[in-house]
Amino acid sequence: MNLKSSNFKIYLAGAYLIVLFTGIYFLFSNFDLSDLTSYQYIKENKALILKYKTNNIFFLTIISFVIVVLLNLLLSPMLLPTLIIGFIFGKWLGTVILVFGNTLGGVLLYILAKTFFSELIEKKFSKKFSKLIKYISKNEVLYFMSFRLMGGGGTPFPIQNILPVIFNMSVKNYILATFLGIVPATFVAAALGSGIENIIEQNAELNFMSAFLSPEIYLPIVGFFLLFIIAFIIKKFYFKQ
């Protein structure tokens, strides 16, 4: 079978949609959306979740890592999964799971996109990111790492993962630039998720003001602002117009 044929791409897209809708069906058939957004429900089940994590730390770590990889392959936004993993595993282990999972998932998605959808991606994004191509050609690792560090300048995370297709980045450089570039934002988001867990532990009812004034919450938020400032500086000095 020709892996780049139109029929194979249709089969691949069909398989992707089947996996996606199976995941959505599983989620909504086993969980009530109102429960997942209920503070009281989360608080009541937090101890059970954390106890299970403590008793099955290795298994749950592997499962979470695999889920992160699969979410990347499914082009899923990663903010909510990052907060959840930070909530369950804390900022340190959570960051390790997320950085390695996002890096592996990102590079697998990149390889798939480069193999099967390179023409489509180049047609869709090459003109819009023409200036980025010019910079990347100077130093792949440095500029793509900087691009990752600044959150892709607002580019959604799944698009960041496939964007190097347009400048034919080497897999080795992709892995290195992605791994180093996503660490700061991942740590800050995981710390925020961990902070939410601490707030739930300390408060019977959700009080947004007291939660916001808690160091577990406002320090990660300050971290986001610092990353924003760093991103602005990187864009100003490394991606001059």
pLDDT per residue of the chain (241 residues) written in tens, 0 to 9: 455 556 666 666 676 677 667 766 666 665 555 555 555 666 667 778 788 888 999 999 999 999 999 889 888 888 888 988 998 898 899 999 999 999 999 999 999 888 888 888 888 888 888 777 777 777 888 888 888 888 777 788 999 999 999 988 999 999 999 999 999 889 888 888 888 777 776 654 555 555 556 666 667 777 767 777 776 676 666 555 5
pLDDT for res 94: 94
CB atoms inside a 10 Å sphere around CB 54: 9
CB atoms inside a 10 Å sphere around CB 69: 20
**Percent composition of the chain: helix, strand, coil (DSSP 3-state, to 5):** 85, 0, 15
Cβ burial, residue 108 (10 Å; 0-12/13-18/19+) = middle
pLDDT for res 216: 65
Q: Are 219 and 191 in contact (CB under 8 A)?
A: yes
pLDDT for res 61: 94
DSSP tag of 164:
G
Residue 238 tokens, joined? 């490394």
Q: How far apart are the first and last CA of the chain?
A: 45
Supply angle C-alpha 166, 69, 168, rounded to 5.
15
